[in-house]
Structure 1
């Protein structure tokens, strides 16, 4: 009996502990249930009441604010402006055609808009809002809002649309945005969900396209309640997402506008490059176009006018246009020959007006010839026969290698559309592209920048900056992203003999400043601002022996598209190079008469940071310069005032 009582006394404490633990667990469970019931019945009572009345919670993507684009001084080049739009959600609107008919009774909707909206509604998910009309007036917004009970699934929204304050001046560089099309989506491997939003804007050309991922940002989300007829009751939560990065370009908006105005009336391109950093201060193209037309939906007449214009206003000629560089390429041939030691600066070559190679005559531009010509004279007078001879001595391989070293035949790394590589041809290139062997006549043509050689205005500016500095200067268009400075394009030494480079620069100086130089009429008279340069004229047609015998037809007597291209390159000031400039005027006839004066004017504008005084021009050119300045000022008066931004 004593043992039984002892065993019972030992079991009792254990049972008491178990009961306590079980009781605690039960109380805890009841507490959790009570807390959850309070949440459901009190805290979220309104939400579930709405759901009980057949309300639904929808998730919508919120487009992020697109990053802004500025020039080097903070002038806005691409901004976002608020616009009103009318959108419709198919699953809330009921039968789409009937819904649009009801909307058409409230605000103007033409048949084309209705059909386009119906097609878009079929293309996207039923819960995705489809834009019916963009950029509507406040009166339209008010009418739609007032009639909201009769327009289920239709709402007025405030959105952001791209705007380009500088309009045509920066169209080819900045580019433009437009709605995402099925074709665009087909080119993407993993499209951003934002692209499913009808009429979502993304970069189509230029910086807008090349930096799309940076500028677009990350989508936000909106959680909303809608009732049984699709009317938005309230916003439950909102995540704005991440706005796109702001981009600061190297462009100087004022210089860019000047270049565009100076090129007006030509089919041309002009590049201004900072010799120290490689910054592209101006990338001009003429004629140009208004990128805002594409953002707002370009009309058929406007598109036809742009697309059928023989002067190609949509082409970014400064980077897309690959032209025979003509005599500007003699700089490359000279450097290749001098560096290889096949000729010294003092050696002379006889120019009798032509050089015969394999029974074919290659003519100098000066019919009677230049006589004995040394290196300095060859550039100063732009003697073709000199380069025919030294080109054969050094060979195409050395010329092509020097061309690439100077930036010709190498695609520049700039975020613009369809940037051309150009051509620095050699034997392997011809075999690969034409399945033919290289001939000595090809070398003769290439030595003066004709034949297969092609260069863009941007490449010619790079070539000139490298000659001026002796460094591997590379073009830089993006200066900063969200305030973070991007790598400079200053580059390291080219490794060329500096004494030879000095001789090339001195000869380029004489091209402009010697009384018999080919560009003497386009010189700068301001002391300390003198420039060094090189003219170029490249043929676009073959001149037959018969035509030479009777006299070469003047460019003025030829159709526009059969005339020679006019080219020019320069750097200034000569003693301390700050800017390199290149100009190409399509079918402009003569480099010295057409392209060089433009290059001189643009160079002066860059040096002075505005319109230069007339005494910066030679005395016999001041009246002409004054007229030019008046003409350009008149064109610039129509430009918008600068808008400063956050950059």
Structure 2
């Protein structure tokens, strides 16, 4: 008879507690999992859905079309043109070198370009396209497109790139664009995300640089579905951006082209300005360069050539150049003396060729002197002694204040980089900057536009426009932005007496229209287009007493970079002024021989709206002018087309 085994009561109680504990733990785990699942699927669902979406979908920026730039008559100066290019994708090409060899049998690929492509392909992901050729001709592009099936990995593409249809004629004004550099990014406090796009281009000089934000526009966006390794699957949707604003300059293309052509091989600058509105019709700096060479990166050889040229083709001489104004400053000295009551226009000052100040002798440009000179004759003959005398009477600080009134020493407000302020010195300036006391000789030198005096060609044009009108005309370069016309503000009067202005203008008339005037040979024969002007010659070296005793070297006998600068300023017509002109020819020698003829021709081109008739020139010059015109491009002599602007 069997006996039933019984578990002791304490043991049963222990197993029951363990079971309850285990069940509790299981319930707690299940509850925790349930709570977490609810947290993930309900409470944080949006968060994780967004993260998953971000892993699957990329947001890409679409570069906007850059704003166009036109001249005052609607002539395009900077446009966006189709860029025919070829790209290669490594994973599709497999053997990149073999594909490039096949491509080279269809279009030319330089060894340097081939090496760059192989380097770029190796450094990027296999599915990222790399540009092989840019700016292809339509014929080459079509040939590659026709042979694309036999070129694995090769894709013909069409995009937009900046182009400057008139090349060197507007290089200094319009400027050029180029790829964004690290330095560019370091200069911007909060860079636009567009600037991070590979090969995106921004303005590097000229209006392109100063109005970068206006011309750039706003980016569009594209939502792209990608796989786990970042390869594009499809585009889900797209929002187009906003193109940059178009801009219209006050410059006249034909006049600008003519001015550059007329200066030829000289290192020179020419400015033409509407004396009433301040609109700049020409800002030509010679020699120039082709901005198209910079769009996709200039070669080292071309860059070195431009930088080693002693005529400085990269330098915008019209606004950045600062030159001693020489005798073109004498009108300001004369006007200051009249306004301050220190000289009467009919008062005569005797010039014997030199004057002493302390133990230092100051010379007139004419060794034997000019004799007795009143104000009108002093301007006509450009007598230095006359201006030494009245500059002493005025004093430097008062003379500087008067020069500032006519725009000298004041930086013009123009949308261009590196606009020079020039220099109109004072006693305090010399003490602060040079640590030296002002000398009486400094005042004398300043009285003839030498010494520390500096002015840019555009400042000299502003000065001349103010002399012609008696108003504080300001230079302006922008005519409209995005179709909105910019109306110049009426210029206030200068608060200078008509008597003084009339006396100075009369002297400028004599310079160009009376025999023995320093610019008589550059006069305009048309009685309705009479030119009033002033020549100037500014020294770039000091002439010693020993050289004066032995005979001063002629400019033609000196090395080019030691010759004097040649200057001319003027306006026309004399009785009803329309345009002011200034010309500076670096190391040109004489203002009357080098600068005045160029200024006259450019001013006549502005007045007539095309080439003036030969009858407008003095009879003795007509044969020379006719010969000169054969070398001038037809595009610069044609009258302007109808005004207007629009996207090209």
Query: TM-score, normalising length from structure 1?
Result: 0.85
Secondary structure of 2:630 counterpart: helix
Deviating more after overlay: 185-194 vs 228-237:
228-237
Structure 1 position 164 matched with structure 2 position 164: yes
CA separation of 1:97 and 1:323: change in aligned 2, threshold 3 A: farther
**Within 5 A, what are the aligned runs for 1:148-159?**
151=153, 156-159=156-159
Q: Measure the CA separation in 2 of the matches of 1:110 and 1:595.
A: 46
After TM superposition, give the deviation of residue 589 of structure 1 in Å. 0.5
Structure 2 residue runs of 5 or longer lacking an equivalent are 1-48
Contact 2:268 2:287 in 1 (8 A): yes
Deviating more after overlay: 155-164 vs 386-395:
155-164
Contact 2:320 2:456 in 1 (8 A): yes
Q: Measure the CA separation in 1 of the matches of 2:312 and 2:254.
A: 24
Q: Measure the CA separation in 2 of the matches of 1:466 and 1:251.
A: 20
CA separation of 1:139 and 1:233: change in aligned 2, threshold 3 A: farther
Match of 2:174 in 1: 174
CA separation of 1:124 and 1:445: change in aligned 2, threshold 3 A: farther
Structure 1 position 60 matched with structure 2 position 63: no
Q: Measure the CA separation in 2 of the matches of 1:130 and 1:471.
A: 58
Secondary structure of 1:491 counterpart: coil
Q: Measure the CA separation in 2 of the matches of 1:635 and 1:486.
A: 28
C-alpha RMSD over aligned residues: 3.1
Secondary structure of 1:458 counterpart: helix
CA separation of 1:333 and 1:117: change in aligned 2, threshold 3 A: farther
Contact 1:277 1:490 in 2 (8 A): yes
Structure 1 position 138 matched with structure 2 position 141: yes
Contact 1:217 1:245 in 2 (8 A): yes
Match of 1:535 in 2: 535
After TM superposition, give the deviation of residue 340 of structure 1 in Å. 1.1
Deviations 1:200-238 (Å, cap 9, x if unpaired)? 111011011011110000111122334577664433211
Secondary structure of 1:632 counterpart: coil
Match of 1:465 in 2: 465
Contact 1:407 1:462 in 2 (8 A): yes
Secondary structure of 2:536 counterpart: strand
Q: Measure the CA separation in 2 of the matches of 1:624 and 1:291.
A: 33
CA separation of 1:538 and 1:490: change in aligned 2, threshold 3 A: farther
After TM superposition, give the deviation of residue 555 of structure 1 in Å. 0.7
Q: Measure the CA separation in 1 of the matches of 2:133 and 2:621.
A: 55
Contact 2:225 2:236 in 1 (8 A): yes
Contact 1:128 1:197 in 2 (8 A): no
CA separation of 1:159 and 1:384: change in aligned 2, threshold 3 A: same
CA separation of 1:313 and 1:642: change in aligned 2, threshold 3 A: farther
Q: Measure the CA separation in 1 of the matches of 2:142 and 2:565.
A: 54
Q: How many residues were matched structurally?
A: 589
Structure 1 residue runs of 5 or longer lacking an equivalent are 1-47
Secondary structure of 1:575 counterpart: coil
Q: Measure the CA separation in 1 of the matches of 2:637 and 2:347.
A: 53
Match of 1:474 in 2: 474
Q: Measure the CA separation in 2 of the matches of 1:122 and 1:484.
A: 49
Secondary structure of 1:488 counterpart: coil
Match of 1:218 in 2: 218
Contact 2:423 2:452 in 1 (8 A): yes
Q: Measure the CA separation in 2 of the matches of 1:637 and 1:614.
A: 14
After TM superposition, give the deviation of residue 476 of structure 1 in Å. 0.7
Structure 1 position 393 matched with structure 2 position 396: no
Q: Measure the CA separation in 2 of the matches of 1:226 and 1:88.
A: 20
Contact 2:254 2:635 in 1 (8 A): no
CA separation of 1:496 and 1:637: change in aligned 2, threshold 3 A: closer
Match of 2:17 in 1: none
Match of 1:275 in 2: 275
Contact 1:391 1:447 in 2 (8 A): yes
Contact 1:171 1:291 in 2 (8 A): yes
Q: Measure the CA separation in 1 of the matches of 2:93 and 2:359.
A: 78
CA separation of 1:212 and 1:497: change in aligned 2, threshold 3 A: same
Contact 2:254 2:636 in 1 (8 A): no
Q: Measure the CA separation in 1 of the matches of 2:201 and 2:548.
A: 56
Query: TM-score, normalising length from structure 2?
Result: 0.85
Q: Measure the CA separation in 2 of the matches of 1:311 and 1:569.
A: 22
After TM superposition, give the deviation of residue 440 of structure 1 in Å. 0.8
Contact 2:248 2:645 in 1 (8 A): no
Secondary structure of 2:281 counterpart: strand
Match of 1:36 in 2: none
After TM superposition, give the deviation of residue 556 of structure 1 in Å. 0.9
After TM superposition, give the deviation of residue 87 of structure 1 in Å. 5.4
Q: Measure the CA separation in 1 of the matches of 2:96 and 2:277.
A: 57
Q: Measure the CA separation in 2 of the matches of 1:405 and 1:224.
A: 61
Contact 2:179 2:296 in 1 (8 A): no
